[in-house]
Structure 1
């Protein structure tokens, strides 16, 4: 299996009233997060976000529905996942996106990636996520929707 690229997306999924979709990782019990995923080959960031949304939740949207924040952060890759990257790769650049979906949208999680999902309020979501970059994105969400 080829190594993952150290370039990924974080996609915050929300309803119009700011209910946030969070997923619990199956390889890290208790670790809740938004949709994430690495870019594949020559895939654009927006196409990565659309693909990962469908793979992880079963939700389908057009690329036009996804809001590109034109914001990225770099973080150290957790030791538990470094084997997925080429030797010597220790950091990842994560580009942030969001997408609004209707309340009551039907979610079908990928059982190889997640054990369960929850729709929660924004403040609860900020407290639940394990990743500091995910918490930061959630804190920025209300102001990003005004742009």
Structure 2
């Protein structure tokens, strides 16, 4: 088994009006989130962000404004998902990005990972997500919009 790296990206996708794209996990009922995913190999983190956005939403990040916030979160990996990591790994380092798109784009979800998506105002999105670091990033969005 190939283990996931405990290094990931969080990408908050939003419009200029700060409507945020949320996607619902299939393996965790009512768990709304932004795009997330682990780095693969020696991948540069911005490449991880682009790959994960494309895999999870079908959006080509290279056609939009991707910003690296230079912000890092460390958090405890939920016990239900620790089997994906090497034995003894309990924390993850998450790098925060945002992707500004021109409008509420149609999304093509990764069928095995996500079941639904919605575009909601940033304040509502911050209340809907299950992850505290995701909620914090969305609350910081008005400060980073336009970077």
User: What TM bracket, shorter-length normalisation?
Assistant: over 0.9
Moved over 4 A (4+): none
Distance in 2, matches of 1:115 and 1:127, equals: 19
The yes-or-no answer on 1:131 pairing with 2:139 is no
For structure 2, which runs of at least 5 residues remain unmatched after alignment?
none
- Give the alignment's Cα RMSD to 1 decimal: 1.3
Superimposed CA distance per residue, residues 80-108 of structure 1 (whole angstroms, 9 cap, x where no aligned partner): 00000000000000000001112131210
Distance in 2, matches of 1:25 and 1:64, equals: 24
1:61, distance to aligned residue in structure 2 (A): 2.0
1:49, distance to aligned residue in structure 2 (A): 0.3
Number of aligned pairs? 147
Aligned partner of 1:17 in structure 2 is 17
Aligned partner of 1:145 in structure 2 is 145
1:123, distance to aligned residue in structure 2 (A): 1.0
Superimposed CA distance per residue, residues 27-77 of structure 1 (whole angstroms, 9 cap, x where no aligned partner): 001000000000000101000000000000000021883100000010000
Q: TM-score, normalised by structure 2?
A: 0.96
Q: TM-score, normalised by structure 1?
A: 0.96
Alignment check: 8 A CA contact 1:50 1:63 kept: no
Aligned partner of 2:110 in structure 1 is 110
Name the SS for the 1:16 alignment partner. Answer: coil
Tell me: CA distance 1:106–1:146, structure 2 relative to 1, closer, same or farther (3 Å): closer
Alignment check: 8 A CA contact 1:47 1:63 kept: no
Aligned partner of 2:73 in structure 1 is 73
Q: Structure 2 matches for 1:49-88, cutoff 5 A?
A: 49-62=49-62, 65-88=65-88
Aligned partner of 2:95 in structure 1 is 95
Name the SS for the 2:16 alignment partner. Answer: coil
